Amino acid sequence: MDTLRKIYRAKSDFYPRMVFDKEEGVFLIEGRSLPEDSEAVYGPVLDWLDEYGTQPNSETKMVFNLEYYNSASLRKFADILKKLKQIGMDNGTKVSATWYYEDGDESSLENAEDLASSIDIDLEMKMVGNA
């Protein structure tokens, strides 16, 4: 298999910074995620994960560190976590994720809890900052 190209997208007012780099073991979405077309933003990530799943690292750790996101983005985060869980099951590799949320942001914490329970994935929730 050819080397899997990494995904890097700088953050903007509407798009999160995204890094998916197999070689460095970095899987990160951070910032604000408010795209009008979430498929255009996250479709390439899901395709990348399909390819990654053919020869994943022995451990995959996904990090979400979001200031704000819309419901369409949240659905794509669920798709990413489902795909990562499947990769772990198919290959016997360790998959985990960390969800950072701001102190006082109960909505983000609840979303993370819902994702963890509905997908049944190891999703660590870490509070950052002060309200």
The domain spanning residue 89 has which CATH number? 3.30.750
* Domain-located, residue 1: no
Phi-psi region of 30 (alpha: psi -120 to 50; beta: other; left: phi over 0): beta
pTM: predicted TM-score of the whole model, two decimal places: 0.94
* Domain-located, residue 114: yes
Which residues 6+ apart lie within 8 Å of 67 measured at CB?
Answer: 31, 32, 102
* Type of residue at 21: D
* Domain-located, residue 33: yes
Q: What is the number of domains present in the chain?
A: 1
Query: Which backbone phi and psi does 76 adopt, to 5 degrees?
Result: -70, -35
* Domain-located, residue 2: no
Over residues 5-25, the pLDDT tens digits come to 999 999 999 999 999 999 999
pLDDT band at 3 (very low <50, low <70, confident <90, very high): confident
* Domain-located, residue 93: yes
What range does the domain containing 64 cover?
7-128
